[in-house]
Amino acid sequence: MDNLGQKIKKRREELGLSQEDLAKILGYKHKSSINKIELGAADVPRAKVPAFAKALGMTAIEFSGWTEDRKTVSFSYCLEQQMKLLGWVVLYDADGNAILTHDGVEYEVTEEKIKELESRVALYMDFLLNDLAKNSRKIGG
C-alpha cells in the first residue's frame, strides 16, 4: 500500500465495514473524517492509533506500517513483544522515529537508538544462551 489511508481503506473493506461504520466505532461524528484519512487529506491522530488498530483487527505495530515479512521473521518483532511484557509499547512515526510508551508517558527515540538496543540485546542474549549451553549436558551432534 502506498500510504496509511489506503491501508485503512483496504482493511476496512476486507472487514465489510463502511466508512460510517468505522467512524461510529472510532467515535467520529461523521464518515467524512474517515474519508479524509483514507484520501490522505488528514492524518490519523497519534492518540487514535490504538483505536484504529483495534477496530481494524490489527496490532498497533501492523497498523503503523510494519510489513508481515518483518513481523514474522525479525528480531525487532521479538524484541517488541518482550518489551510489551515489560509494559513498554513501541510505535513508529512517518519519519522512522520510535515512540516508546511506558506508564502513560511517551518518549521519542531515533531509529538508530532502537537498532542499538536490538544489537545490545542480541549480544546479551547470545552470551546467556552460550552460557546455558556450556553448562548443560550435550545430547546430540
Domain ranges of the chain: 1-65, 66-141
Predicted local distance difference test score (pLDDT) of residue 123: 93
The grid coordinates of residue 134 equal: 556450556
Q: 105 pairs with which residues across the strands?
A: 102
70 pLDDT tier (thresholds 50, 70, 90): very low
Residue 104 CA to residue 87 CA, distance in Å, equals: 10
| pLDDT exceeds 70 at position 67 | no
Q: Distance of CA 70 to CAs 73, 76, 77, 108, 126, Å? A: 6, 8, 7, 22, 21
Query: Helix (H) and strand (E) counts for the chain?
Result: 8, 3
CATH number of 1-65: 1.10.260.40, 3.40.50.1980, 3.40.50.2000, 1.10.4160.10? 1.10.260.40
Which phi-psi region, left, alpha or beta, contains residue 97 (left: φ > 0; alpha: ψ -120 to 50)?
Answer: beta
pLDDT at 93: 67
DSSP annotation string for 18-40: -HHHHHHHHT-SSTHHHHHHHHT
pLDDT band at 39 (very low <50, low <70, confident <90, very high): very high
